[in-house]
């Protein structure tokens, strides 16, 4: 009974909405157009268009277009305003069941005084500010001009400049978004209103197994490090979630709009190259090429963009851990004295290559548009990690080596239909999303030299730099392989989604105006998480057992398996795959 009651109520409300909107529209008309900058001819986003003496109005969209529906028949005065521009007023005459179309140009406001130079970035942010003011959500917007002007490596770094936004980093490069302190997996990242497939994490391994490093993290976060900022038109961050946004976001939603073709044949070419003093190499580069044009009297637009980049992310750093004395207190501070327990020296060598491509097609209808967005981005990370651990507690020197080639991909294909029927506007979207995070056969070696730290006791309140004299490397003959692991992981997600939004405008005479919005979405996704971690631990804990047989098998086939941590390699360059095969045969 309850379900039947609510179903009847919803049906009655829908019928009343349609009847009310149709009756109002029968005695009213519409007014639409486009607003430009008078000097540059660029469209003005977020300009306010208001019928004076009423609450009826609208704001221009990303293409500078506006539509005001259900305007009472007769003559009216319209005021058009925009930040930094002189407002204008125009007289219009609305005819029943007709749409009046007219475009306008605004003159930048002139203020007497000292000369002020306005950069393209500042002019672009005016557009972003207008979008924030006219949004019905708590929103922050980064304009295209600002994205292009600032030297950001990727989309995540560009978004991080907004208030309330932080980022996680990978090798010193921003890669994931934190909104209002909530982790990336609690936020949604979308392109054109369609959520991207999650990329998970590049961390690998299994915590339950010995001799491994890291843990699997297949959360639904999206890595933005592979998306070039040159692909984007605007970036909007919504911190208040409304029913027309995805329901599975807690922190907020990041929506990126891709560029579309302007009028005329246009092309852009960007090439940058640089030198890395740390690795003493010249070869970093960034190349971006885009072409666009419109055909069929500007009805059909085609925009193509491709980008390729290569850059180093090498780093050296030191970590130290400390323990505190139980009874010894510092007489000056009154706190327990501290003592170095171990020091880790890290050398990270990484080369990143980023590739991406956009293809945007749009066909303008009299009151709408058909659009297809296609984007693909890939980030290849070729890395090597060398680590030396000075263990002052156990008096050992531990060495680890790891390398791999991680490929992270993300793609999206959408088909969109938008149209304004006068009494109702409609947006329909169908999309296919794809992501992959792939790390094949990444070897991880652990070596040990016993007695490398020969200090009897570590002095309290001593910094790690002053303990170097108490460490001695005894050479490759005293450095032994202790464990071997071979990581392989692949995280893949594919999804299909359908989304529909409908908006019915409603005006209550001259008292109030608004709209009733409703819609729905359907999404299906398939996740794949495949991992393998073969490993051996070379520990002789007795005269028999599997670990002893593995150790004997390796040492008998490769008696000279020793590691040179200074050179960062085995003298014979024996591959991990050879060792594992030998172990299996033994």
Q: Which of 388, 313, 314 is nearest to 354 (CA)?
A: 313
Q: Beta 396-420 vs 425-450: how paired, if at all? A: antiparallel
CA distances from 490 to 381, 407, 409, 436 (A): 15, 10, 11, 7
Nearest to 492 by CA among 407, 413, 430: 407
Which residues have CB under 8 Å from 271's CB, separation 6+? 285, 286, 287
Q: How many CB atoms lie within 10 A of CB 61?
A: 16
Q: Judge contact between 305 and 290, C-beta under 8 A.
A: yes
Among 173, 29, 150, residue whose Cα is nearest residue 92: 29
Phi (first) and psi of residue 409, to 5 degrees: -130, 150
Alpha carbon distances (Å) from 272 to 17, 27, 38, 88, 310? 57, 60, 34, 44, 10
d(CA 399, CA 387): 6
Q: For residue 353, how many other CB atoms are within 10 A of its CB?
A: 15
Nearest to 454 by CA among 372, 385, 530, 392: 392
Long-range contacts of 241-248 (CB under 8 A, 24+ apart): 242/136, 242/137, 244/501, 244/517, 244/519, 245/188, 246/188, 246/190, 246/195, 246/521, 248/188
Which pairing describes strands 104-106 and 28-37: parallel, antiparallel, or unpaired? parallel
Distance in angstroms (rounded) separating the CA atoms of residues 381 and 226: 10
Residues 6+ apart with CB under 8 A from 255: 190, 191, 192, 193, 235, 236, 237, 238
Domain parsing of the chain, residue ranges: 2-106, 151-537, 546-585
| Token output for 142 | 């980064």
Q: Tell me, what's the pLDDT at 2?
A: 38
Whole-Å CA distances, 290 to 242, 281, 305: 35, 29, 4
Return all residues near 3 (Cβ < 8 A) that are at least 6 apart. none
Strands 88-94 and 74-81 come out as antiparallel
Cross-strand pairs, 177: 167
Number of neighbouring beta carbons within 10 Å of residue 69: 27
Distance CA 574, CA 79 (A): 77
Question: What count of residues does the chain have?
Answer: 586
For the domain spanning 2-106, the CATH number is: 2.60.40.10
> CA triplet 468, 472, 474: central angle to 5 degrees?
160
Phi, psi of 213 (to 5 degrees): -135, 125
- What is the sign of the dihedral through the CA atoms of 166, 169, 173 and 177? negative
Q: Which residues pair with 323 in a beta bridge?
A: 339
Per DSSP, helices labelled H in 484-527 are none
Q: How far apart are CA 491 and CA 438, in angstroms?
A: 6
CB neighbours of residue 516 within 10 Å = 16
Tokens, residue 75: 């003559």
Residue 418's pLDDT is what? 93
| Residue spans of beta strands (DSSP E) within 96-210 | 99-101, 104-106, 139-142, 165-170, 173-179, 188-191, 194-195
Q: Containing H/E element for 430?
A: strand 425-450
> 549: part of which helix (H) or strand (E)?
helix 546-557
Which two structure tokens, joined as six digits, stand for 329?
């207190």
Q: pLDDT tens per residue, the chain (586 residues)?
A: 434 444 454 454 444 444 444 444 447 788 989 998 888 888 888 888 998 888 788 888 877 888 888 788 889 999 999 888 899 999 999 888 888 889 999 988 765 555 555 444 444 455 555 555 555 555 677 777 667 777 777 888 888 877 788 888 888 788 888 888 888 888 888 998 899 998 875 444 333 333 444 444 557 788 888 888 888 888 888 887 777 777 777 888 888 888 889 888 999 999 999 888 877 888 899 999 999 999 999 999 999 999 999 988 888 888 888 888 666 777 777 778 888 888 998 888 999 999 999 999 999 998 889 999 999 999 999 999 888 898 888 888 888 888 889 899 999 999 999 998 878 889 999 999 999 988 888 888 888 888 888 766 778 888 888 887 788 887 777 777 788 888 888 889 999 999 999 988 876 656 666 778 899 999 999 988 887 777 777 654 444 555 555 555 555 554 444 444 444 444 443 444 444 434 434 3
Q: Two tokens at 130?
A: 């207008």
Residue 581 confidence (pLDDT) = 38
The pLDDT assigned to 279 comes to: 75
Tell me, what's the pLDDT at 351? 92
DSSP bridge pairs for 374 = 359, 413
H-assigned helices in 84-139: 120-134
Strand partners, 492: 436, 528
What pLDDT does residue 211 have? 40
Question: Closest Cα partner for 500 from 378, 416, 573, 383?
Answer: 416
Q: What is the DSSP letter of 122?
A: H
């Amino acid at each position: 009974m309850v379900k039947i009651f609510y179903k009847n109520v919803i049906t009655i409300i829908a019928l009343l909405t349609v009847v009310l909107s149709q009756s109002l529209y029968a005695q009213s008309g519409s007014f639409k157009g486009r607003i430009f900058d008078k000097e540059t001819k660029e469209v003005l986003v977020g300009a306010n268009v208001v019928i004076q003496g009423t609450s009826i109005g609208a704001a221009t969209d990303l293409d500078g277009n506006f539509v005001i529906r259900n305007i009472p028949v007769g003559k009216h005065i319209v005021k058009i305003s925009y930040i930094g521009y002189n407002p204008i007023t125009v007289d219009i005459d609305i005819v029943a069941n007709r749409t009046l179309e007219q475009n306008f140009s605004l003159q930048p406001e002139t203020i007497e005084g000292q000369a002020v130079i306005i950069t393209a970035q500042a002019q672009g942010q005016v557009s972003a500010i207008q979008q924030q003011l006219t949004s019905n959500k708590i929103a922050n917007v980064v304009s295209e001009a600002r994205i292009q002007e600032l030297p950001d490596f990727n989309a995540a770094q560009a978004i991080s400049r907004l208030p309330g936004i932080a980022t996680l980093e990978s090798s010193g490069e921003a890669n994931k978004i934190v909104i209002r302190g909530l982790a990336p997996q609690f936020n949604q990242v979308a392109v054109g209103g369609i959520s991207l497939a999650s990329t998970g994490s590049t961390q690998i391994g299994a915590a339950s197994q010995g001799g491994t490093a890291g843990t699997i993290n297949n959360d639904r976060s999206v890595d933005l490090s592979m998306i070039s900022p040159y692909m984007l038109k605007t970036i909007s961050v919504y911190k208040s979630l409304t029913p027309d946004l995805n329901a599975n976001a807690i922190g907020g939603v990041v929506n990126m709009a891709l560029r579309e073709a302007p009028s005329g044949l246009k092309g852009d070419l960007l090439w940058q190259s640089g030198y890395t003093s740390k690795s003493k190499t010249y070869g970093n580069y960034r190349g971006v090429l885009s072409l666009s044009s419109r055909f069929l009297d500007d009805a059909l637009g085609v925009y193509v963009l491709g980008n390729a980049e290569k850059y180093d992310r090498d780093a050296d750093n030191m970590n130290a851990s400390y323990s505190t004395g139980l009874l010894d207190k510092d007489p000056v501070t009154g706190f327990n004295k501290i003592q170095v327990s171990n020091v880790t020296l890290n050398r990270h060598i990484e080369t990143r290559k980023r590739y991406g491509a956009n293809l945007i097609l749009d066909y303008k209808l009299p009151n709408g548009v058909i659009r297809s967005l296609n984007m693909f981005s890939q980030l290849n990370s070729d890395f090597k990690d060398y680590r030396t651990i000075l263990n002052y507690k156990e008096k050992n020197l531990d060495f680890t080596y790891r390398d791999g080639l991680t490929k992270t991909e993300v793609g999206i294909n959408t088909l969109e239909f938008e149209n304004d029927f006068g009494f109702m506007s409609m947006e329909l979207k169908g999309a296919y999303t794809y992501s992959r995070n792939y790390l094949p056969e990444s070897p991880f070696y652990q070596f040990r030299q016993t007695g490398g730290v020969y200090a009897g006791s570590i002095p309290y309140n001593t910094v790690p730099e002053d303990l170097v004299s108490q460490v001695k490397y005894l050479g490759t003959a005293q450095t032994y392989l202790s464990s071997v692991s071979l990581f392989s992981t692949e995280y893949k997600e594919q999804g299909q989604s359908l989304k529909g939004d409908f908006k019915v405008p409603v005006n209550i005479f001259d008292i109030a105006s608004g709209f009733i919005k409703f819609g729905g979405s359907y999404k299906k996704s398939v996740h794949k998480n495949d991992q393998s971690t073969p490993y051996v631990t070379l520990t002789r804990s007795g005269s028999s057992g599997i670990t002893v047989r593995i150790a004997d098998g390796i040492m008998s086939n490769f008696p000279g398996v020793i590691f040179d941590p200074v050179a960062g390699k085995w003298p014979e360059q024996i591959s991990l795959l050879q060792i594992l095969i030998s172990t299996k045969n033994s």
